[in-house]
Structure 1
Amino acid sequence: MAHGSLASLLLLLAASAQGAAAFGGKSATGGRSVVPNSYILQVNASAPALTKRGVSVFEALDHTLAAVKQNGVKYTVRQRFDAIPEAFQAVSIQVEDGASMAELAQIPGVQRVWPVSLIPRPVEPTVSDFTPVSSSSSSTKSKRDTHTLEKRGTNFPPASAYLNDTFYPHVQTGIDVLHNKGILGQGVKIVVVDEGVDYTNPILGGCFGPGCQISFGYDFVGDNYTGTNAPVPDSDPFSSCSNHGTHTTGTVGALANEYGFSGAAPMATIGHYRVISCSGATTDEILVAALTRALQDNVNIVSMSLGSSVGWLDDSPVQIMASYLGSKGIHVVASVGNERNEGLFAADQPAASRIGTGVGGVDPTYLAAYYAYLIKRDPVPYISPTPFNLPNNYLLYFTSTNTSVTNDACNPLPSTTPNLANRVVVVQRGTCGFTVKQQNVAAAGGKIVLIYNSKGSGLIPQLDVGSTGLTAVGSLRYEDGLKLLSYYQSSPRGQSISFPNGPLAPYVSNTVSGGVVASYSNFGPTNELFIYPTLAAPGTDILSTVTGGVALMRGTSMAAPLVAGAYALLLSVGNNLKLSPEEARTILMSTSQPSPVAYGSETLDTVVSQGAGVINMTAAIAAHTVISPAQFNLNDTQYSNNTQTLTLRNNNRFPVSYQLSWVDSTGIVTYNDGATTDIIPSTTPNYVSTSVLRVAFSQRTVTVPGGQTVKVTAQFIPPNLTAQQRNQFPIYSGFVTITGQGQGAGAEQMEKYNLPFFGLGARMVDMPVLDTTNVALGPNLPFIAVGQNIQTGPTTFSESNPAVVYFRLAAGTRRLRVDLVDASTSYNATVPAVTNPASRLVKRSNTELTPRAAFPTLYSQVRTVGSLFAPSYWPPRDYLFNNGGTYSDYEIQLDGSFTFPNGTKGMAELGRSYKVLLRALKITADPTYTSSYESWLSPSFTFTA
């Protein structure tokens, strides 16, 4: 990986920092941003545990809190989760400094402990020459105190208003066909969990409550919640300080309007739960509360366009609650995240789920465009969230007629430029940012600007006039820019153009990246090698509602509500409301359309990038075959699951002949140069060929009578890989294809299904877990330091000016421990005690205090003084970019305090020699043995006051 420049930058930043946390100042919980001294305690409400403690399920939480108090831990309650004890009985508490997770985990009645995690506001993916318009409106307040709640109901358009649907995300996914049949989500209840909604927007009905389009909801946070203060909830989910929640809600339920778009399920019962404040933060405890309310409100579908790093399945309170909703028949749909540059194995919660649906984003096959009209010429589409509404004729003006110029309008326009006040100025994309071009045109008197794409570049995001003084700005496809240029050059008297009002122009093709997985959409899989994302939908430049109007936004946040709306359409047909989440997900997955690896390519993208592919609602509604499983998770080479049984149930009234085959998709590697070289998964993983993969079926053709079931064995024969290829941890994948043909109602009936499969051409147990590179912090990890002084041998640390243990996880782990051990401890650590170049280190003695004894072979044989950090959850790997932010790491203070194995607190003896033992269990390894852990044993040290 090419990390040199990043490492240099971070090294300079570290060198300028001061104090004990000079290398980073991050939390002690790595990839999870947390609220200090706040924890979620899950109560053990199992029957044996309750019997042992002599309490009922409804008394268990209070009984556990009493035990916390009896253990001397002072706390205040943040949130209680006991309304549905069989789902998730827990409490979040704020404790005083000094109380640790390890201490809380030992309290009677406590089953698991998590730090309260901060969930960041979703960030719209950036484009290299573009800074997106903030998802917040111009207001920094929600204006809850000034907006007037409309008491009248929504004036609902008739069902006929949704006929002849040409809205581009609907056309791409087959939703348009359902709308044209009058299938609009009737009878289904959906809630969008997001940043609040401006329901005063007329396209969202203009009001809130019964009789309104947004008919129910709740605000769990208020305007100023940061995660560290108390939320101020109320029953009104209104917000105008962010556009994100209004946009996602519009994707689900926007009413028919003058622009020619609508929500996917506009006739469903739609609600909104506000979980993110104007301050831009929420916590997992808030999300658990929202999911609990969804169960109480009897919703059918939950749409969530937010999340945070988790790596694993069923490992967080949000995932546990979401899974419970799934078990009760509620369909939970979540975006997979916009951190594709973190590489593989970077799954987010709540999208990582066995029951729910994680949605990735693809670029649209058509674009949000309106027609500009020219005299005696064909109209030309321009891309904008709304039409310019400039019906007068304007003359065209190109700042450069040379298409090879790469810096068009990047400098002030020359003095020979004509008066631009009544002209439409056309500029080519390239070199500098869009805002610079707009400012230069505005400075020369221009008012209307069209920026056309450069050849081979990605889609231009929504442009905004901002503070430039322009009247209107939009973008053009590359080919449309050339077309206008030809008109301009062939019109000696000038070419005129106008922009009258009108609905969206239909079927304006995206000839750059249509149908390709978006450049921001997260890779999977989970650490258990479970499919992630589940499937995909259009997420780039999606037109929907925002505060005060409409806008184009991009991200997997935009794809998830489209799929939630698609679920509503599926459930609203016939008796489909009874479909379980697994059954409905199987239908959408098996009928999805796989995406190509590049525009115009016949090679399919890897399954860990797109899941089952882009939803196809036309096929989903027409499906009459029940297939199980919906995907084939083949695992790794150590625990291969290469022989699987496929079940086909023919729900037609007539026999169907099924033809079985398969198609490869491209492979992808986790480490470009191999795990022994890269350590950290590549941020730009290479695609590789896996064409030697084969699938053998016990029957290639099988006829199933109507109403009958047949089972077919599928044998997946993985590709033959060299040792170097295995060292890259390649993912191979493809799709089993099933084509059904039968005779029904006097006509031939055709069905087609695609079932994704993938496997890892290596052993997960060999995946590096501890980051031993210098990529993030500058010095090689792990190490102990006081300020910039890195320990290299026996030394003394002051408890009043604590040293800090720095480390990062290059992969997830099911057991992570940082222990204080006696300096005489002998342990065959996998990472050297000192890994940093001598020029970066303070000179210290390397004399061993005592000779080494025999190394223990069992985990239980390792004697520790006490624990410094021992999370009861499964940590994910650390991130490098965090959506444009900085890396994460673990920073554990050595202030002399630790936790004994029984949960009580202890203090190190002054003058006694200790070491720090860091251990991280390798994925799939047996935790019984010391050889199953990557480990690091520090140089020895003593404490002084």
Structure 2
Amino acid sequence: MALLAVALVALFSVSAAFQQHDAATSRYVRNSYFVEVDASSSSLSKRGLTPFAALSRTLAAVERKGIKYTVRQRFESLPDVFHGASIQVPDGVSLDELSKIDGVKRVWPVQKIYLPREPAVDDYVSTSSMASQRLAKRTSSSFEKRATTFPPASAYAGDTFYPHVETGIDGLHNSGILGAGVKIAVLDSGVDYTNPILGGCFGPGCHISFGYDFCGDNYNGDNTPVPDDDPFTTCTSHGTHVTGIIGALANQYGVSGVAPQATLGHYRITGCNEIASDDIMVAAMMRALHDGVDVINVSLGSVVSWTNNSPTQIMAEYLASQGVAVVASAGNDRTEGLFFAEGPAAGLATTAVGATDPIYWVAYNATLRNRGTVPYMSPMPFNITRTSLLYFTSTDPNVASDACTALPSSTPSLVNRVVVVRRGGCDFAVKLNNLAKAGAKIVLIYNSPNTLTLPQFNVGTTGLEAVGGLRYEDGVRLLDLFKSTPRGQPITFPFGPLVSGVVDGVTGGTASYYSSYGPTNDLNLYPSITAPGTNILSTVVGGLGIMRGTSQSSPLVAGAYALILSQRKNENLSPQQLKSLFMTTSAPIPNTYGSSTLDSVISQGAGRIDVGAALAAKTLITPAVLELNDTGFPSRTQRLTLSNRNSDAVTYTFSSTIAQGMATYDNGVQSDVIPSTSPDDIDTPLFRISYSDNSVTVPAGGSASVTVVFTALRYSNQQTAEFPIYSGFIDVRGTSASAQVQAFTVPFFGLASRMIDMPVLDTTGAALGPNLPFLAVGQDIATAPITVSRSNAPTVFFRLAAGTRRLRVDLVAGDIDFQGTIPSVTNPTSRLAKRSKNDLRPRATPALFNDVPTVGSIFAPDYYPPRDYLVNGPYPYSDYEYTLDGKYTNKDGTPGTASAGVSYRVLIRALKITADPSLSSSYESWLSTPFQYSS
């Protein structure tokens, strides 16, 4: 192809069709990278270096390249697992350039980690002003420290706290098992330890006895952290809430932590704007190991899609190898669809915790004169002893827009009334403001029938005195009383502890609507287990509050781990064994309330934890999950090993239960490309599972193995195109010589398609309007060769619709003999870009990946990139945007600059999952239209 004439320009104007996002600002810390140094013993001995000298020498090599850097964090204490530093470099220094420097093993960009927001409720707009408050940090010297007064074990007996009751924690508390002797660290946003339910002080002798602030109030990911020795904060309640779930002390409200006698600490890793970075998280993990922690809880993370692929995941797995159990939230990203695992939770030894809606509501009792009581939801009892009369703004429970407009002038005075309204028709804030304007002081909102649990209500600036929630059936009961009591039904709200047994008959016990799906791209189970996470009552800044999310289910499991470790110390259970113990004793949950069909294991993991069963179980089963892989690399013959730690022989028998199947794509990969954000349930076809032994007897202290064989599954072509996940449970029943029965379950799952067929590059217009990938100058998309200036350089836009083990963006010659799997020009068009079939090699494409001639590299990460966000990320439909300023990295690591008047193209190649990275045909690829620089 001849060189382009300078005047040749062809741009398709779409100035209103797409909006650029600053991906680097949202997803990564600007110009910051983890630089891992090769500190292996063989490498060090060959070079005659110590690990510390190796890091110094590598950083010196960075400086010799003319790269001025500043160190963000140094990681020198664990050279066997991760040795290096996170550094910030000037604009224009690329990841590729750093990766080629002598002594560098791997390079990752430093990623921002956003503290999970509470999952949205469609009709809920918070009236609280707490989120906007940013109070000055209060140091330990600004108030008088006092030692915590620890309640005795008897204060936790008779535990009726609702998440404890449904997970068996109450039984351990009633037996005096409270986590004594176990050390737990919370990595989160800081803690208000002045809350008396958390002990009121910090340091030795206090309930929160150790910790550190790694960042300071003003840290936003990009600026310099200001650490200190005090993790106190009042500018966010997330960390305080998480800490209370683990360790809240007994109190008059009836709420308590899972392990209140454990030694509890807090490492603050976010500032007041609730942004962390993964280099600070790694530093906190290292600190926890050196502080002798037994269990770590991490209730935040970021999408990784793969197992053990990021620095936080690598560190979490190393901690497990050193006896530290890492428990992490699975994420609140269910609307991102399947194959959306987060780090550090996605790890072979790390426990990823999903969330369920509790079987019971958090509730206090209001008293109805001569009519008993009625439970209402509130973080604390109203404690209003004056008598008021019930009043309903509508006497028809089918009216969905109750109080959505200003109340009529005929409305009686509401000052001495308890006003009850039904959910629906408008945001809660609209209802509350209308009621407040009409003079109401106390409001109860009752749920719509067959609707999600109500959120916590806040009075905010409405002027209301108190707002609470009611179940639908309780609202209807009060309505009947209101209509049948002409003189009015008196009601009071005396102080009292939580009441037990208030059943959620709509979604109780099922997977929460926000809890993230798995599995990982390498088809490892995700999440591991589930626990109650919706509407959990715990400590917040200055009191108690109700929050929801996997941030709440994760610390419940971390505390449960501490309970078991405190009682089984002599067994020296490893984190992997502890995880297996909890998984195999968990209770599988239904896919809908009251259903006999079990939820998919990629939604619930092994099921909801049963801590009593975990304590009693003396059988260890490995593996704790049977991962059957895909149809390209099936693993249908599995082996279960049962280790009997009982005092007598146990006979084990085997059966199976099928769980719900799920589809990854709505209509099939040839048309969808992007995974569904509301995956369809599909029927899992019946198939036969056979065992090498239907019954096996294992002597005390012995072990035995059983082979499990799964027959091939039959799906239609349409189902296969939807990438269906099938799953179920192996049911293991153990009967001892003394006739004691033990029940265990082992989840299994597989993919009835080939991962190699999963589309990797997004070719749709869902993200930006025009079809991806494309090259643009400003808002104009190139549809033919163009000439550009370096001051107004083009940008290449692309998205990953799935994760990839190898992503390369290269600068190539404009006349390269290469045909991509995606057309160079896909705009203007209203149709989906045509995708070449995976099993056909495009004409003239070299056989080997390395045979493709390149000018230099623009972006070539050593880590495995995850797929982009669809809904919940820093912005919807996150993408990659690289401005082509002419700079690239040569193969030897030296920087290069494109010449003026020379024709170039951009080549994007993304390896298909499970494909051979050495073959060119293993990649989805896109070659841009030619461009050249005018000067």
* TM-score above 0.5: yes
Note closer, same or farther for the CA distance 1:132–1:641 as it changes in structure 2 (3 Å cut).
farther
Aligned partner of 1:441: which letter?
L
Question: Which segment is superposed worse, 598-607 or 830-839?
Answer: 830-839
Q: Match for residue 270 of structure 1?
A: 264
Matched, 1:923 2:913: yes
Q: Match for residue 445 of structure 1?
A: 439
1:676 counterpart SS class: coil
**In structure 2, how many angstroms separate the alpha carbons of the residues matched to 1:853 and 1:87?**
45
Post-superposition offset of 1:131: 2.5
**In structure 2, how many angstroms separate the alpha carbons of the residues matched to 1:923 and 1:683?**
21
Matches within 5 A, 1:7-86: 15=15, 23-27=19-23, 33-86=27-80
1:474-523 alpha-carbon deviations (Å, 9 max, x no partner) = 01000000111111111121111111000001111111111110000000
Q: Match for residue 3 of structure 1?
A: none
Post-superposition offset of 1:314: 1.3
Note closer, same or farther for the CA distance 1:245–1:14 as it changes in structure 2 (3 Å cut).
farther
1:135/1:244 contact within 8 Å kept? no
Question: Which segment is superposed worse, 639-648 or 550-559?
Answer: 639-648
Question: Which segment is superposed worse, 717-726 or 285-294?
Answer: 717-726
Q: Percent identity, please.
A: 57
Q: Match for residue 613 of structure 1?
A: 607
1:23/1:787 contact within 8 Å kept? no
1:149/1:207 contact within 8 Å kept? no
**In structure 1, how many angstroms separate the alpha carbons of the residues matched to 2:140 and 2:181?**
34
Q: Match for residue 468 of structure 2?
A: 474
1:383-424 alpha-carbon deviations (Å, 9 max, x no partner) = 111111012221100110111111001011111111110010
**In structure 2, how many angstroms separate the alpha carbons of the residues matched to 1:634 and 1:331?**
26
Q: Match for residue 548 of structure 1?
A: 542
Aligned partner of 1:655: which letter?
A
2:142 counterpart SS class: coil
Matched, 1:773 2:767: no
Aligned counterpart for 1:102 among listed residues 96, 106, 127 = 96
Aligned counterpart for 1:801 among listed residues 779, 792, 798 = 792
Note closer, same or farther for the CA distance 1:14–1:881 as it changes in structure 2 (3 Å cut).
farther
2:126/2:458 contact within 8 Å kept? no
Matched, 1:914 2:904: yes
Matches within 5 A, 1:402-441: 402-441=396-435
1:804-830 alpha-carbon deviations (Å, 9 max, x no partner) = 000000000011011111112111310
**In structure 2, how many angstroms separate the alpha carbons of the residues matched to 1:654 and 1:718?**
38
Note closer, same or farther for the CA distance 1:896–1:925 as it changes in structure 2 (3 Å cut).
same
Aligned counterpart for 1:750 among listed residues 735, 741, 760 = 741
**In structure 2, how many angstroms separate the alpha carbons of the residues matched to 1:518 and 1:823?**
51
Q: Match for residue 846 of structure 2?
A: 856
Matched, 1:895 2:885: yes
Aligned-CA RMSD value: 1.7
Aligned partner of 1:464: which letter?
N
Matched, 1:810 2:801: yes
Aligned counterpart for 1:535 among listed residues 524, 529, 535 = 529
Aligned partner of 1:546: which letter?
V
Gapped runs of 5+ residues in structure 2?
A: 1-12, 832-841
Note closer, same or farther for the CA distance 1:742–1:758 as it changes in structure 2 (3 Å cut).
same
2:239 counterpart SS class: helix
1:334/1:351 contact within 8 Å kept? yes
Q: Match for residue 819 of structure 2?
A: 828
Aligned counterpart for 1:660 among listed residues 654, 662, 665 = 654
Post-superposition offset of 1:201: 0.2
Q: Match for residue 5 of structure 1?
A: none
Note closer, same or farther for the CA distance 1:414–1:484 as it changes in structure 2 (3 Å cut).
same
2:127/2:459 contact within 8 Å kept? no
1:677 counterpart SS class: coil
Q: Match for residue 591 of structure 1?
A: 585
Aligned counterpart for 2:302 among listed residues 297, 301, 308 = 308
Aligned counterpart for 1:679 among listed residues 654, 666, 673 = 673
1:796/1:943 contact within 8 Å kept? yes
Matched, 1:790 2:804: no
Matched, 1:456 2:450: yes
Aligned partner of 1:455: which letter?
P
Note closer, same or farther for the CA distance 1:147–1:436 as it changes in structure 2 (3 Å cut).
farther
Question: Which segment is superposed worse, 639-648 or 718-727?
Answer: 718-727
Post-superposition offset of 1:79: 1.1
Note closer, same or farther for the CA distance 1:490–1:594 as it changes in structure 2 (3 Å cut).
same
Post-superposition offset of 1:706: 2.2
1:293 counterpart SS class: helix
Post-superposition offset of 1:719: 2.4
Post-superposition offset of 1:376: 1.8
Post-superposition offset of 1:142: 4.0
Post-superposition offset of 1:884: 8.0
**In structure 2, how many angstroms separate the alpha carbons of the residues matched to 1:331 and 1:187?**
15
Post-superposition offset of 1:98: 1.7
1:204/1:253 contact within 8 Å kept? yes
Post-superposition offset of 1:725: 1.0
Aligned partner of 2:75: which letter?
F
2:139/2:232 contact within 8 Å kept? no
Post-superposition offset of 1:375: 1.7
Aligned partner of 1:756: which letter?
P
Note closer, same or farther for the CA distance 1:148–1:490 as it changes in structure 2 (3 Å cut).
same
Q: Match for residue 118 of structure 1?
A: 112
**In structure 2, how many angstroms separate the alpha carbons of the residues matched to 1:928 and 1:938?**
23
**In structure 2, how many angstroms separate the alpha carbons of the residues matched to 1:27 and 1:547?**
33
2:776 counterpart SS class: strand
Query: How many residue pairs end up in the alignment?
Result: 913
Q: Match for residue 551 of structure 2?
A: 557
1:28/1:889 contact within 8 Å kept? no
Q: Match for residue 319 of structure 2?
A: 325
Post-superposition offset of 1:151: 2.5
Matches within 5 A, 1:192-591: 192-575=186-569, 578-591=572-585
1:409-453 alpha-carbon deviations (Å, 9 max, x no partner) = 101111111111001000000110111111111111110000000
**In structure 2, how many angstroms separate the alpha carbons of the residues matched to 1:854 and 1:393?**
86
Aligned partner of 2:885: which letter?
D
1:292 counterpart SS class: helix
Gapped runs of 5+ residues in structure 1?
A: 1-12, 841-851
**In structure 2, how many angstroms separate the alpha carbons of the residues matched to 1:15 and 1:556?**
40
2:279 counterpart SS class: helix
**In structure 1, how many angstroms separate the alpha carbons of the residues matched to 2:127 and 2:337?**
26
Aligned partner of 1:340: which letter?
R
**In structure 2, how many angstroms separate the alpha carbons of the residues matched to 1:370 and 1:479?**
16
1:410 counterpart SS class: coil
Q: Match for residue 905 of structure 1?
A: 895
1:822/1:913 contact within 8 Å kept? yes
Q: TM-score normalized by structure 2?
A: 0.96
Aligned partner of 1:593: which letter?
A
Aligned partner of 1:813: which letter?
T
Note closer, same or farther for the CA distance 1:132–1:643 as it changes in structure 2 (3 Å cut).
farther
**In structure 1, how many angstroms separate the alpha carbons of the residues matched to 2:763 and 2:788?**
24
1:361-385 alpha-carbon deviations (Å, 9 max, x no partner) = 0000011101111122131101111
Aligned partner of 1:26: which letter?
D
Note closer, same or farther for the CA distance 1:97–1:226 as it changes in structure 2 (3 Å cut).
same
1:331-354 alpha-carbon deviations (Å, 9 max, x no partner) = 000001101110011111111011
Aligned partner of 2:76: which letter?
D
1:157-214 alpha-carbon deviations (Å, 9 max, x no partner) = 0000000000000001100000001000010000000000000000000000111110
**In structure 2, how many angstroms separate the alpha carbons of the residues matched to 1:238 and 1:817?**
44
Question: Which segment is superposed worse, 852-861 or 589-598?
Answer: 852-861
1:351/1:358 contact within 8 Å kept? yes
**In structure 1, how many angstroms separate the alpha carbons of the residues matched to 2:409 and 2:695?**
74
1:150/1:206 contact within 8 Å kept? no
2:480 counterpart SS class: helix
